[in-house]
Chains A and B, each alone.
Chain A
Amino acid sequence: MLALEGLEKRYRTGDLALKGVSLEVPAGQVMALIGPSGAGKSTLIRCVNRLIEPTGGRVLLKGQDMTALSARGLRRARRRIGMIFQEYALIERLTVMENVLSGRLGYVGFWSSWFRRFPQADIDAAFGLLDRVGLTPFVDKRADALSGGQRQRVGICRALIQNPDLLLIDEPTASLDPKTSRQIMRLIVELCTERGLAAIINIHDVALAQQFAQRIVGLRLGEVVFDGPPSRLDAGVLTEIYGEEDWSQTVRHASEEGGEDDDEALDPARLAANA
């Protein structure tokens, strides 16, 4: 579905953020991308839809080379890639409905979007998604009036109404409390399963990654240093990705929980680590 071939990004400052990353993400797979700050996680997902221009390598989405597209072709391709952001990146002063419908911008003409005259099918889809995430009573509320978890749900709706093949998710839980984080992650994974979507999730929280992703890729200094199922993540691997640290707490829970999640069974130590 998505294939990265020797993806490379050198910033104008000379920093090599991605050193030829090659990855393949099959349809329907939820992949977590972990790694320390500055490892290139954010750069990697932004190179996929060229919010950041890669300086080398190729990005193939369903066989189409993203890096070779014209401006118009790129806009068309971006419609099939939903994105969910850290701190939500909602348009704060617009309503929930306008935010969700903004996911359709690539499909409607300028004047339709200017006058907010979206096709009825889009409005139906928006209501469907808002029903699904339980935000229908808030359609005409301004986005900045919502709580963190509610905002991220709007962000999820905005990405899904694009009818994407792929979701790029950048630190979706970075500003959420542990319980809301788990609810949001569960929602994302459920929706991906329902719709057969592939997803790349950048995430700092190793425990969350283990709990929700089918596959984990570890990035360090712009290189893939681990690629495998969550069960193979152990102290050695974490040391490889992040460097030396006492990982015994982090991995012990992974083996105990075995991927099963339960909000009430949260370990206080892990809650503290998340806070």
Chain B
Amino acid sequence: MPEAVAARRWRPPPLIANPWLRHGLMIGAAIYLYLAINSVPVNWPRIVMGLERGAAFVAGFLSPDFVSRYDEIFEGLLESVIMTVIATVIGIALSVPVALGAARNLAPRPVYYFCRFIIASARTFQEVIIAILFVKMFGFGVLAGVATISFATIGFMAKLLAEDIEAIEPSQAEAVRATGASWLQWLNFGIQPQVLPRFIGLSLYRVDINFRESAVVGIVGAGGIGATLKTAFDRYEYGVAAAILILIIAIVMACEYSSSWIRRRVQ
């Protein structure tokens, strides 16, 4: 009679092999989370009081006031749209050379590091912080807003486009090089067709991001509908603020819907 074979147990190997380290990390994380929660001050009486103010705010939204500040709202929106269009065009135009320089498979090392530095600096700071800087440099108004959004667009577009350039199929580019094409022709035939759909998609996506940003940077004085919105809050005109926010939402949704429709068509 054959000898009974002991059942061989199997468990999946743990992510961290060392049990001391594994359990230590878990316990450490739990302790930190507990202490962190306790360090956040919660003022209950203030919250109760604030609920009422919040209710007034929400009530304002139920009766949006499009009429009494019609001119200011219209002007602000027009400014925002202008900012969006100009900044998107400038940002995308400047992002192409930066993206080429930031693609590891195209650029020599020093150019690569320089372009990566531009991208990193454009992405490190949130638009509002950049807007404050440009408002200091150019004064209040649309110019500061355009500069801010263009700069942010470069960071976004160049990074994602550079990644797409790095992911191209090298054989196609090699074949173009083998024909004796010049560098620009090589870009035009070997690289561009491979990244064009993504480029168009990112550009359209950036249009709706930029419109949203144009509303935000206005709050720190960089022009556009954001400035109008801030004024409305400062005057406690919640009805007007509500009207503005509803318009922003409507425009962003319209942009998003149309851009996703176009993106589906090109890809």
Question: Which A residues are within 8 Å of any B CB, using their own CB?
Answer: 49, 51, 75-79, 81, 83, 85-87, 89-94, 98, 102-107, 110, 113-114, 155, 158, 162, 168
Contacts and interface: CB of A to CB of B under 8 A. Distances in A.
Contact of B180 (A105, A110, A114, A168): A105
Interface of B: 169, 171-172, 174-182, 184-185, 188-190, 193-194, 196-197
> Interface on chain B toward A: helix, strand, loop, or mixed SS?
helix
15 contacts: A49-B178, A75-B181, A78-B180, A79-B180, A83-B175, A85-B171, A85-B174, A87-B171, A102-B189, A105-B180, A105-B181, A105-B189, A106-B179, A110-B185, A155-B175
Contacts, number: 81
A51 B177 CA distance: 8
A103 B185 CA distance: 11
B176 A105 contact: yes
Contact of B179 (A86, A98, A102): A102
B178 A113 contact: no
Contact of A92 (B179, B184, B193): B193
A169 to B, nearest CB: 12
Contacts of B194: 91-93
B172 A91 contact: yes
Contacts of A51: 174, 177-178
A106 B175 contact: no
A85 to B, nearest CB: 6
Contact of B193 (A78, A89, A94): A94
B18 to A, nearest CB: 35
Interface centre among B172, B178, B188 (most CB of A within 10 A): B178
Contacts of B197: 93
Given A105-B189, A114-B188, A78 B178 contact: yes
A10 B180 CA distance: 24
A106 B169 CA distance: 21
Contacts of A104: 179
Contacts of A110: 182, 184-185, 188
Contacts of A93: 193-194, 196-197
A98 B179 CA distance: 13
B179 A89 contact: no
Contacts of A103: 179
Contacts of B180: 75-79, 105-107, 162
A79 B177 CA distance: 10
A89 B173 CA distance: 8
B181 to A, nearest CB: 4
A75 B171 CA distance: 18
Contacts of B169: 92
A81 B178 contact: yes
B227 to A, nearest CB: 42
B181 A102 contact: yes
Contacts of B193: 91-94
Contacts of B189: 91, 94, 98, 102, 105, 113
Contact of A83 (B172, B178, B181): B178
A155 B193 CA distance: 17
A75 B180 CA distance: 4
A105 B174 contact: no
Contacts of B174: 51, 85, 89
A69 to B, nearest CB: 11
